[in-house]
Amino acid sequence: MSPCRFSAFLCFWLLVGGAQSGVAQQNFGVVQGRLAEGIKEVSQTGSLIPRKVGTSLALTVPVSVNGSKTTWWIVDTGSTICLIDSSFSSKLGLQADNKVGSFPVTMVNNFQLGTFQCSGIACVVRSIGELKTVELRNEGGSFDKGGVIGINLLAKYGGLINCRTQQIFLSPSGNMGMSRQKYEAMGFTYVPMNVTSKNRLEVTGTLGGKEFSFFLDTGAYSTMLDNSIRNEVNLPFFSTNAKIVGPFHDFGKDARYTYGTATNFKLGNYDASGARLGATTLNLNENAGYSHRFAGFIGMDFLFFRSAIIDIGGRGLYLKPSAAVRWFEPFWIPSRLAPSYGTPVVTSQT
Q: How many Å is the Cα radius of gyration of the chain?
A: 20
Q: Which of 152, 149, 141 is closest to 168 using CA atoms?
A: 149
pLDDT for the residue numbered 226: 93
Q: Omega of the bond prior to 62 within 30 degrees of 0, cis?
A: no
- Where exactly are the structural domains of the chain? 31-170, 180-347
Domains 31-170 and 180-347 share a fold: yes
Give the per-residue pLDDT at 5. 47
Domain spanning 180-347 has what CATH number? 2.40.70.10
Pick the CATH number of 31-170 from 1.10.12, 1.10.10, 2.40.70, 3.40.190: 2.40.70
Q: What does each of the 350 residues of the chain score in pLDDT, given as a tens digit?
A: 444 444 444 444 434 433 333 333 446 899 999 988 765 666 666 667 766 665 667 899 999 999 999 999 999 999 999 999 999 999 999 999 988 888 999 999 999 999 999 999 999 999 987 777 677 765 666 788 999 999 999 999 999 999 999 999 999 988 777 789 989 999 999 999 999 988 999 999 999 999 999 999 998 888 999 999 999 999 999 988 887 776 677 777 788 889 999 989 999 999 999 999 999 988 887 677 899 999 999 999 899 999 999 999 999 999 999 985 443 433 334 433 333 223 333 333 33
DSSP secondary structure letters along 7-67: HHHHHHHHHTTTTT-TTGGGG-EEEE-EEEEEEEEE--TT-SSPEEEEEEEEEEEEEEETT
Check: CB of residue 209 under 8 Å from CB of residue 203: no
Q: Which candidate, 224, 176, 168, 157, places its Cα nearest to that of 35?
A: 168
Count of beta carbons in the 10 Å neighbourhood of residue 234: 12
The answer to whether the CB of 292 falls within 8 A of the CB of 211 is: yes
CB 55 within 8 A of CB 335: yes
